[in-house]
Chains A and B, each alone.
Chain A
């Protein structure tokens, strides 16, 4: 079974105070963590790849813990998302290996969050950026929490690497006023509403 070989970790945190409207008392925090690892399947077609999902679980949990800590603790996290950029010698299917370890790590850490973790993935060159979608952790339809965060690193992913991302937020958009389901009205049973 391939080992996870980590080359770099890149963490980003934004504190958002306003976007032209009233200044928030508590800024919205948006954070990301990106792990640059070796792609064990780069350069060839490998039919059986599922074992790598298990290998990625400890990394996923470590990343989720580190990111939640960077935002002030898991109890402050209200939105999340995940994504992957596959280096050019890999295939999009390799990015799909991140769904389980990335998603479950965050859901476990955040006290069994109900909502599916929104995600995106692509194959990209060094310096590629990825817009990672974000939704509310317990109810996907909460409109104020639909957001996204751009991630990337100037020297990654190299052709034989994967860049795996988790993102978290501590609230909805800073001037959210587009209606829809509000966070305080969530029933939190089905992960949707």
Chain B
């Protein structure tokens, strides 16, 4: 069963100056969102397998969209995140079914490797509401410079019977990281943590 996609949005944000300092090269973040029909809107469905398959499909598609929008090779991706917002006729568990069982593996193919847990957020929502997608380093969750987030919203989604599914990918950390901790160049990237 493949997702019934109404629209896909891809946003790219580049920061050239932060608090007066030039950022060269600019830090860049992308977020890709698919607005899909919720096959289980308006009823309780015990088996959420269909949404899990949709998650797998969207992990690949949205991961590729981000990498393509950034104009990088998959290996150049540095951090990632995922989120979902479920329209009012669905339930929060629908977001969990899309995000957690199967979305990660194909996303990791799209960004090459990805030893770390993909940070996530989810909520119920309505058209125009903001979804904040958390970001963390793709190979070592403790890399402190890459803890970040990116906001996404669409004025016309999610409608009551829809779900918004978002994947975010960056080619960089925050513009001016200086709070210490594990740095990306010293991460081993074996256990997904350090």
Chain A: residues with CB nearer than 8 A to chain B? 5-19, 27, 70, 129, 150, 153-154
Contact = CB atoms under 8 A, between A and B. Distances in A.
Interface of B: 5-18, 26, 69, 130, 151, 154-155
B152 to A, nearest CB: 9
A6 B23 CA distance: 11
The 9 A-B pairs at the shortest CB distance, nearest first, are namely A7-B17, A15-B8, A12-B11, A9-B14, A14-B9, A16-B7, A11-B12, A150-B155, A13-B10
A9 B9 contact: no
A36 B9 CA distance: 21
Contacts of A16: 6-7
**What's the dominant secondary structure at chain B's contact region?**
strand
B14 A8 contact: yes
B64 to A, nearest CB: 13
Contacts of B69: 11, 13, 70
A9 B23 CA distance: 13
Given A19-B6, A27-B7, 17 more contacts: A7-B15, A8-B13, A8-B16, A8-B17, A9-B12, A10-B12, A10-B14, A11-B12, A11-B69, A13-B10, A15-B7, A15-B8, A17-B7, A17-B8, A129-B155, A153-B13, A154-B151
Contact of B11 (A7, A10, A17): A10
A9 B13 contact: yes
**What's the dominant secondary structure at chain A's contact region?**
strand
B5 A10 contact: no
A14 B7 contact: yes
Nearest to A9: B14
Nearest to A14: B9
Nearest to A129: B155
A8 B5 CA distance: 30
Contacts of B154: 14
A8 B15 contact: yes
A16 B69 CA distance: 17
B163 to A, nearest CB: 15
A18 B35 CA distance: 11
24 contacts: A7-B15, A8-B15, A8-B16, A9-B12, A9-B13, A9-B14, A9-B16, A11-B12, A12-B9, A12-B11, A13-B11, A14-B7, A14-B154, A15-B8, A16-B6, A16-B7, A17-B7, A17-B8, A18-B6, A19-B6, A27-B8, A70-B69, A154-B130, A154-B151
